[in-house]
Amino acid sequence: MDPGVGAPKALVAELTYRCNMFCYYCYNPTDLSAYPAAAELTTDEWVRVLTEAAKLGVLHVHFTGGEPTLRRDLPELVAWAKAQGLYVNLITNLTLYDEAYWRDLIERGVDHVQASFQAHEPTLNDRIGGPQTFKRKMERMAWLRDTGVYLTLNVVLHRWNIDDLEAILHFAHDLGVERLELAMTQFAGWAWKNRAALLPTPEQVERAVELARQYKERWADTMVITMVGLDFYEKRPKPCMLGWGQVYMVVNPVGEVLPCHGAKVIRELRFDTVRDRSLADIWWNSEAFQRFRGEAWLPEPCRSCPLRTLDFGGCRCQAYLLTGRADVTDPVCEFSPHRPMLDALIESTLRSVDGKAVPRTHVMSRWDSPG
């Protein structure tokens, strides 16, 4: 156990990987058949996880998926989490169920709803997410505004919508949400498979960053605007989940406990499950959480870098996807020996296709019905 590590601050509860939408940039695993509904944690198992999380010192729980509302026990889990003193955030595509359902969720204890939109208008939104999804999202946004719950609008930016950013900003402002999160596509999961059609140009990203900065200042008194940059075009990497095994713990639908959403991509790691070990034991002692926690594992040039306590070598999953190794400096870093390889990949990707067509490979309708 690392004596410098404190208790986790947040639990990401991935209740299911089932989803009614088809987003091409989804960070969920591409091997969805490995997570059938029949293997998901039961209600009682999730209740135990939430109880253990609160005792461990977790402050926030983020219910997510897939689409978490496909779990019929979500209202019960929300109420239980709230009873344990946890701040409850619901991350949802906001397309399912009636007004009574959403009002009930808020009454049971949802503090914050993070709703995803694929675009600011129905044509592109529905092209990515599925028919009529924009209309359903707008209906439910109106219901949620009436409840007074804290609302965040999340829009993932990529080649198809990044040039519409100013319209997206005004759309969010007109909706009256408290917070707009602009997240540049991170190329893992389905986004990695579809990167040729989704990767924006450096010029598009530069314009978007500047535009977001301007509106962040202009609307500082009315709406919080955050932007998650595109790693590929950065010179320095971001810390993985604010440091691998230091702030977040993720429990996936079958009970495996991960330091980040994408960690299963690292095939060499073994992840313990809440069905075999307590959450506290996994956090403090498991091999996966210890492997890249802190600074001791860092390679050069990270080990000698004065910023090593800020970025911890960058994203382990990104390093693995790009190099086949998780124990190297994130190739995003300008000092990484693998940076030229990433630059070559970006150049070839931008040359490969015009981005007008992506096969609808991410179809979750093969999943069992909810429940």
Per-residue pLDDT tens for 254-263? 999 999 999 9
Strands 248-251 and 10-14: parallel
Q: Residue 24 has which token pair? A: 């091409």
Q: Is the pLDDT of residue 68 over 70?
A: yes
Q: Is the pLDDT of residue 354 over 70?
A: no
Q: Work out the average pLDDT over 254-283.
A: 96
Mean pLDDT of all residues in the chain?
92
What's the pLDDT score for residue 233? Answer: 93
What's the pLDDT score for residue 356? Answer: 47
Which ranges of 69-223 would DSSP assign to H, the alpha helix?
A: 74-83, 99-108, 122-129, 133-147, 165-175, 189-193, 195-198, 202-218
What's the pLDDT score for residue 32? Answer: 86
Q: Is the pLDDT of residue 1 over 70?
A: no
User: Could you give the count of Cα atoms lying within 13 Å of 97 in the half-sphere of its Cβ?
Assistant: 21
Q: Work out the average pLDDT over 227-233.
A: 90
- What's the whole-model pTM score? 0.92
Q: Work out the average pLDDT over 100-123.
A: 97
Q: Is the pLDDT of residue 107 over 60?
A: yes
What's the pLDDT score for residue 353? Answer: 61
Which range has highest mean pLDDT (3-7, 111-115, 228-232)? 111-115
Tens digit of each residue's pLDDT (9 = 90 or more) over 291-326: 999 899 999 999 999 999 889 999 999 999 999 999
- Taken in order 174, 175, 180, 184, is the CA torsion positive or negative? negative
Res. 368 pLDDT band, cuts 50 70 90:
very low
Tens digit of each residue's pLDDT (9 = 90 or more) over 330-346: 999 999 999 999 999 99
Q: Work out the average pLDDT over 114-119.
A: 97
What's the pLDDT score for residue 193? Answer: 87
CA-to-CA distance for 154 and 119, rounded, in angstroms?
10
Look up tokens 């429940």; give the residue. 371
Label residue 344 exposed, middle or buried (CB < 10 Å: 0-12, 13-18, 19+): exposed
Q: Work out the average pLDDT over 4-28.
A: 92
CA-to-CA distance for 184 and 198, rounded, in angstroms?
10
| pLDDT > 90 in the chain, percent | 81
Q: Work out the average pLDDT over 141-147.
A: 95
Tens digit of each residue's pLDDT (9 = 90 or more) over 167-210: 999 999 999 999 999 999 988 888 888 898 899 999 999 999 99
CA-to-CA distance for 184 and 157, rounded, in angstroms?
5
What's the pLDDT score for residue 30? Answer: 86
